[in-house]
Amino acid sequence: MDHTTVKKILCIEDEPEMIDLIRLILGRRGFEVHGAAGGLEGIKMIREMLPDLILLDLMMPDMDGWEVYQQMKADAATRDIPVIVVTAKAQNIDKVLGLHIAKVDDYIAKPFSPQELMDSVDKVFSQRP
């Protein structure tokens, strides 16, 4: 991995321990992981930071993940940032498959293993120049 360009990953997630876990897993691989505690903060940080990848939880109390996703896709500055959607178990899989899977770069279901997370991130980055 080329360390001159550290990839920035923004994790939008309302559970701090989940952000810590993701930071631990991806930090080991040399990624710079930032956390946003919810959708409103997430949108703000996406615009300020322009991360290389967004890990987006769907179920958040203040603004759900789809709302964040739609807002970033509506903005030319942020619409090309890849998104991995994180869903809790299978609760949203139908919705994900039905409405959005074509546009979301990947998705993983909680609880996920460190390997699943890494595989998903690697897959998304390998599809991008």
Is residue 37 a contact partner of residue 63, using CB atoms and an 8 Å limit?
no
- 68 burial (CB, 10 Å; 0-12 / 13-18 / 19+) is buried
In tens digits, the chain (129 residues) has pLDDT values of 555 689 999 999 999 999 999 999 999 999 999 999 999 999 999 999 999 999 999 888 888 888 899 999 999 999 999 999 888 765 555 555 555 555 788 888 888 999 999 999 999 999 876
Q: Is residue 128 part of a domain?
A: no
Specify if 1 maps to a domain.
Answer: no
**CATH number of the domain that residue 70 is part of:** 3.40.50.2300
Residue 3 domain-assigned? Answer: no
Residue 35 lies in a domain: yes
Q: Which domain holds residue 99?
A: 8-122
The residue whose two tokens read 């703000």 is: 44
Cβ atoms within 10 Å of 115's Cβ, excluding its own = 9
